[in-house]
Structure 1
Amino acid sequence: MSGERLRPVDLARRHGLSTQAIRNYEQAGILPPAGRTSTGYRTYTSLHAQALRAFVALVPAHGHPTATSIMEAVNRGATEDALKLIDESHAQLLEDRRTLQAVESALRDLAPPEPPSAPEPGVTFVGPLARKLGIRPATLRKWERAGLVQPRRDPHTGYRVYSAADVRDARLARQLRRGGYLLEQIAPLLAQVRSAGGLAPLEAALREWHGRLSARGRSMLGGAAELDAYLRLRALTEAERQDGGAATAE
């Protein structure tokens, strides 16, 4: 199996890639070094084909940069480094699931904003709120310009004053940003939440978020299977090489 000889175009066609992409992947360490013919042309084997299958499967699971780092680590013999990268990616997926749960929990507690004439308990200022959310005050001001939060101004000091509803909006904005949503996507959602005082405007976004996390989890399973197959084939190829070397020495 490891003795099969493949051209760059053979690998490229199987995955809808260009031959230049195959050469780039080899240069980046995604593929192990290619053999060469007597005339200098690259030749690949089933080992390279499985490496490419593993990489292609790892990309939707971990992203292109991390998938590249995983394959590069494996191909330089640092399998433990590769496994650590995978562990970190799984931990990030778990954190993203917890973030989604936090968003859903926050949304369940939504209530219509109090009318302006009513007392506003729990008012806070930009600095304390930024520290509470783990962001910079400049980020809150940017969110205000984008329409995500709408604090009022203290008539005497001119300072921004965040009501309980403003804090809620800022907290939801923070969670949605962590979920990968852009400011221009979040602003209309929060505007609808403020006007409707309910979950309906965000239900579709949350379903989409759930779907993305589930797809990533499934991709991790597929990527792990292809990577395991590659690791097994690498071990087999190395054993064959060592057996061949021993036979030659005899």
Structure 2
Amino acid sequence: MQKIAEKSTLKAGEVALVGAGPGDPELLTIRALRIITQAEVAVYDRLVSEEIMNLLPAYCEKIYVGKKQAKHHLPQEGINEVLAQQALAGKKVLRLKGGDPFVFGRGGEEAEYLLERGVSCHVVPGMTAASACTTYAGIPLTHRGVAQGCSFITGHLQSEGELDLPWTSLSNDSQTVVFYMGINSLPIISQKLIEHGRLASTPAAVIEKGTCPQQRTIRGNLESLPDLVKAHNIKPPALIVIGQVVDQFDPAHVNENGYLQPIVNRDA
């Protein structure tokens, strides 16, 4: 236990880039929890759940830099500067990020900025949404004989309103594809994948607010999913999953929190 504690010590003038996972505080790592309880300043995003924020010490200063799609409370350059300023002032700084810092979290950019200014960083991995949310929805990312690999892709539209992705390589039926930040671009995603060879009937799902009490999972296929998202008024944060694994478990087995149970009295 002593070695674990030593690795989890946040010193004055250091920054810890900590992955908070997609929301459920029970998915925090032991190391993340240890760091959180030492923070003097917490710089946090919109996707960090209230339950996790409540784990911060009472004396911890909280600085909100939340990001919503296309609407940033503070631009990335400003976030970098805040982290450096707080660390150089001798504070124990926590950068609390939804998911994992190095998976679409810009943790690499923040670490580079801090290192250039002489600030040491801890990087603490967190459960990324593609893994945690699909598990809570009863969708395995890989399954023998069904899917031999998976890809994590950002579906965020570029400034020109385009989505330039390697569509052909994403159309392999033995591969699961997970799109982050893709709700607004889902019609384009569906169209392009079908154009490049993915069957319109390919099972697909969207998971809204995964691992949180409000989680919803909507299942359909690659062609129908855009209309289903619109009909159910799905809003970000939401994850799109495309591949045969979506249908691996009957939804009747799934209890929306990673709990699978036998189907009892199905014909009753």
Q: With structure 2 as the length reference, what TM-score do the two structures score?
A: 0.23
More strand per residue: 1 or 2? 2
Structure ranking higher on relative contact order (CA contacts 8 Å, 6+ apart): 1
Higher helix proportion: 1
